[in-house]
Amino acid sequence: MATKLDVIYERVPEHTRLMVSKSFDITERILDLLDARGWTQKDLAEKLSKKESEISRWMKGTHNFTLETIAKIELALGETVLDTSKRPPASKGKGNKYHKKS
């Protein structure tokens, strides 16, 4: 039997679920990089000339990062946050869990 949460989840458009998933992935990557450097959110805020409260809101996982913001974070951390390296396309007729071929 489906829970109320299951019913609500199924009503959310697939592109929205994908966007939220990617947003959480970006946030997790940033937090991992901060941890690896021994930095706090306050340290990142100082590097970006932002308030710590703004960085804290970003790190909740639902922030819609712009490419400009990601680039600034990458420069501040000296690490790649978003990997856009080219990969060969999926095999003809196949997709992945988000990009299904009809």
| In-domain check, residue 47 | yes
d(Cα 30, Cα 59) in Å, to the nearest integer? 8
Task: Tell me which residue of 51, 55, 85 sits closest to 69, measured CA to CA.
Answer: 55
pLDDT exceeds cutoff 80 at 92: no
Q: pLDDT band for position 57 (50/70/90)?
A: very high
d(Cα 41, Cα 55) in Å, to the nearest integer? 6
| In-domain check, residue 4 | no
| In-domain check, residue 95 | no
d(Cα 75, Cα 85) in Å, to the nearest integer? 17
Higher model confidence: residue 102 or residue 71? 71
Higher model confidence: residue 82 or residue 99? 82
Count the domains in the chain.
1
pLDDT exceeds cutoff 90 at 46: yes
* Cβ-based neighbours of 27, under 8 Å, separated by 6 or more: 58, 59, 60, 61, 63
Mean pLDDT of 16-44: 95
